[in-house]
Amino acid sequence: MQLSEQELIRREKLQQLQELGIDPYPAPLYPVNTNAVYIKENYKGEENKAYFTEVCLAGRVMSIRDMGKASFAVLQDSTGRIQIYVRRDDICPGEDKNLYDKFWKHLVDIGDIIGVKGYVFTTKTGETSVHVQELTLLTKSLKPLPVVKEAEGQTFDAVTDPEFKYRQRYADLVINPQVRDTFVKRTKLINTMRDFLNERGALEVDTPVLQAIPGGAAARPFITHHNALDVPFYLRIANELYLKRCIVGGFDWVYEFSRNFRNEGMDRTHNPEFTILEWYTAYKDYFWMMETTEQLLEKVAVALHGTTDVQVGENIISFKAPFKRLSIFDAIRENTGIDISEKDEAGLREVCKQLKIDVAPGIGKGKLIDEIFGATSEHTFIQPTFIIDYPVEMSPLTKKHRNKAGLVERFELMVNGKEIANAYSELNDPIDQRERFEEQVRLMERGDDEAMFIDQDFLRALEYGMPPTAGIGIGIDRLCMLMTNQPSIQDVLLFPQMRPEQFED
């Protein structure tokens, strides 16, 4: 392993600490009783200083300003940053005064984790700080952090290289506090959604990640091998068919935050591993699902921002219900001037040719319509819009429309030019479902590698009888991008997939 000059120096300091009898990695228990943000928000000077005479906190050293026999430093914990004041006579009372120079001034580096005990005070410049009376090294950092400078409310030399940010997220979180805020909001978003569903009586369940049949979506799966059973298995592309089995079994409303895997391309809105919320509710339809989705997203926006208006790039997106509703054929006609509602596969291929949309030869009518919509229309819907009433060929798991022949009761929610949710009145006719699966097999034989497999056990479940049901899948990562104003899906994933590094021996 090739070490930089700074890394070599830190290893030398590590040895010197050990020679001084200072353990650079002591036992983990340290009696923290407060944090940076609590102190800064609650300390009121003379008014309540008695409550801040014995504080104990821990964190990383982010800067040091030496003043001879004393120094100021900035300590960063999980909540934020606070200034500390370290004086030689306080941390070395009655001992070798040179220990202050040997230890604090020469062996402690930016990035080291320390614990401090002391009392809170206000400096002459009005900054709330901790006067340190006892200082303990908790972890010696052997790799220097990139230095990010802040002055007069401005940040300088911020680390923006995606290769560094995504590959070394642990360092990115340390030096860029706003990155941590994104992931705090992500957790709050998920908790808000979970609370919304729990308050309405939904039941959270777990379904298999390893599946013998990769069903519930049109996608290329990852394949693995089950050694004990000696059969191929797939990482799930969706949990839909298992949640529907729960509805067959008698649950009225089930949901799952599902980690799904699709062996597909990567870009700013796609990652092969992603999180989706799916729920299924008996005796409901896609109209009820649209209204419920509006209520949920309103609640999420208010929980994270205090308002239904959310800044996303240059746009202010309103999550105030109701959202616009538009059929997929009308959406395409508005954006191209072409009515494709009556066209067969050959006619759709001519439209693709006319619009200069490249399509694979093996795909069928449903995929052709999807390609046309994606190329011409999807990006135009900035404000939340339900695209409804899809052709039956596009939706193998969806109930046929009650009033419109050839269509199904399905919607996709478009926000900021991308799909955020996909929902159906679920198909519960086992004979119709078998025929749709068989059509998917024919598409697979034509070369469509995203066509669905036949899941015989799911068909057997439907034959026992599934009540009328509405279901939805909401992309958590894309929703989080919107709610935290991040331009890339990698910015809302702690550890996005990347090509493995090649380390030198």
The count of residues in the chain is 505
DSSP state of 144: P
C-beta separation of 189 from 482 below 8 A? no
C-beta separation of 400 from 435 below 8 A? no
Return the ∠ at Cα 309 (arms to 303 and 313), rounded to 5°: 110
Q: Which CATH number fits domain 5-145: 3.40.1260.10, 1.10.10.10, 2.40.50.140, 1.10.600.10?
A: 2.40.50.140
| DSSP string for 218-250 | S-PPPEEEETTTTEEEEE-S--HHHHHHHHHTT
Binding-site entries for Mg(2+): 412, 419
Q: Cα dihedral sign for 384, 190, 499, 145?
A: positive
Distance CA 74, CA 150 (A): 12
Distance CA 439, CA 480 (A): 35
CB-side exposure of 227: number of CA atoms within 13 Å? Answer: 0
Note the pLDDT of residue 144.
94
DSSP state of 400: B
C-beta separation of 383 from 297 below 8 A? no
Note the pLDDT of residue 218.
78
Class of domain 179-323+383-492: alpha beta
Strands 418-425 and 469-475 come out as: antiparallel
Residue 109 phi, psi dihedral angles, 5° rounding: -120, 165
Strands 253-261 and 203-204 come out as: parallel
Cα 499 to the center of its chain, rounded Å: 20
Binding-site entries: 412, 419
C-beta separation of 119 from 151 below 8 A? no
Note the pLDDT of residue 156.
44
C-beta separation of 313 from 487 below 8 A? yes
Q: Is residue 167 exposed (0-12), middle (13-18) or buried (19+ Cβ within 10 Å)?
A: middle
Task: Tell me the three state secondary structure of residue 423.
Answer: strand
Matching fold, domains 5-145 and 179-323+383-492:
no
Domains of the chain, residue spans: 5-145, 179-323+383-492
Distance CA 149, CA 234 (A): 47
Whole-number Cα distances in Å, 199 to 44, 132, 296, 357 = 39, 47, 12, 46
Task: Kindly give the confidence (pLDDT) of every residue in the chain, 505 residues in length, as a single tens digit, with 9 standing for 90 and above.
Answer: 689 999 999 999 999 999 999 999 999 999 999 999 999 999 999 999 999 999 999 999 999 999 989 999 999 999 999 999 999 988 886 656 677 888 999 999 999 999 999 999 999 999 999 999 999 999 999 999 987 655 555 554 456 788 889 999 999 999 988 899 999 999 999 999 999 999 999 999 999 999 998 888 878 899 999 999 999 999 999 999 999 999 999 999 999 999 999 998 899 989 999 999 999 999 999 999 999 999 999 999 999 999 999 999 999 999 999 999 999 999 999 999 999 999 999 999 999 999 999 998 878 888 899 999 999 999 999 999 999 999 888 888 889 999 998 889 999 999 999 999 999 999 999 999 999 888 888 888 888 777 778 899 999 999 999 999 999 999 999 999 999 999 999 999 999 988 888 776 5
Q: Quickly count: other Cβ atoms within 10 Å of residue 479's Cβ.
A: 25
- Structure tokens given for 461: 């479940």
